[in-house]
C-alpha cells in the first residue's frame, strides 16, 4: 500500500475483553478519535513509532488515521493523550 492510498481494503477482526474495550473507548474519547477503528489505528501507529518505524503526516479525517502516518492530533496538542497523561 502506498502512502497516498487511503483505501481500507483489508479487514482485521479482533476480540476485546470488556475492560480492554473500556480502555480503548477512554483513549478514543480523550484523544477525540472519530471511531474505535481510528483509535485502534492510532494506537498501532504509536506502538510502531515507539519501536522505530517511520510515520507520515495526514489530514484530520477518520480515513487519515492510518497506522503508517501521523495523525492530525500530532503537533497541534489538542488531542495528544500522551502529552496530557504526564500533566495530570
Secondary structure (3-state) at 56:
strand
Domain range annotation of the chain: 18-74
- Digit-coded pLDDT (tens) for 52-72: 887 655 444 556 555 555 555
In this predicted structure, what is the pLDDT of residue 14?
A: 92
In this predicted structure, what is the pLDDT of residue 52?
A: 86
Cβ-count burial 32-55 (b if 16+ within 10 Å, e if not): ebeeeebbbbbbbbbeeeeeeeeb
Instruction: Work out the pLDDT band at 38, boundaries 50, 70, 90.
Output: very high
* Distances, alpha carbon 4 to alpha carbons 11, 31, 57, 68, 71, in Å: 19, 24, 11, 11, 14
The Cβ-side half-sphere exposure at 78, using a 13 Å CA radius, reads 7
Kindly report the pTM of this predicted structure.
0.56
* pLDDT above 60 (res 27): yes
Amino acid at each position: 500500500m502506498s502512502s497516498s492510498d487511503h483505501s481500507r481494503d483489508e479487514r482485521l477482526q479482533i476480540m476485546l475483553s470488556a475492560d480492554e474495550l473500556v480502555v480503548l473507548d477512554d483513549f478514543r474519547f480523550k484523544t477525540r478519535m472519530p471511531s474505535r477503528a481510528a483509535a485502534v489505528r492510532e494506537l498501532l501507529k504509536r506502538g510502531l513509532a515507539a519501536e522505530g518505524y517511520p510515520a507520515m503526516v495526514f489530514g484530520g479525517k477518520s480515513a487519515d488515521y492510518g497506522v503508517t502516518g501521523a495523525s492530525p492530533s500530532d503537533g497541534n496538542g489538542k488531542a495528544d493523550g500522551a502529552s496530557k497523561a504526564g500533566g495530570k
